[in-house]
């Protein structure tokens, strides 16, 4: 068997990379089409095993915790 040239090997690697990128794009488009979109789309419900931060967790990270005063129109 003969020795393969470096340029030939690099060309094949580029072709493989390009094919993988195209396949990834096709998969992304397929998942976008299957997923509901638009204003009427439902958001996935939170499963029981998902972790949600408590007020204590948020306070530990420096987020303000307390009654919601976001409805203030005092601007």
Average pLDDT on 11-38 reads: 91
Domain boundary assignment for the chain? 9-34
pLDDT band at 7 (very low <50, low <70, confident <90, very high): very high
Q: What is the 3-state secondary structure (H, E, C) of the chain?
A: CCCCCHHHHHHHHHHHHHHHHHHHHHHHHHHHHHCCCCCCCCCCCCCCCCCCCCHHHHHHCCCCCCCCCCCCCCC
The C-alpha atoms of residue 61 and residue 72 are separated, in whole angstroms, by 24
Question: What's the pTM value of the predicted model, to 2 decimals?
Answer: 0.42
């Amino acid at each position: 068997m003969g020795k393969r040239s470096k340029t030939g090997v690099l060309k094949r690697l580029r072709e493989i990379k390009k094919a993988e990128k195209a396949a990834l794009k096709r998969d992304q488009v397929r998942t976008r089409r299957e997923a509901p979109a638009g204003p009427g789309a439902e958001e996935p419900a939170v499963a029981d095993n998902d972790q949600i931060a408590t007020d204590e967790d948020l306070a530990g990270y420096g987020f303000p915790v307390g009654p919601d005063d976001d409805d203030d129109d005092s601007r």
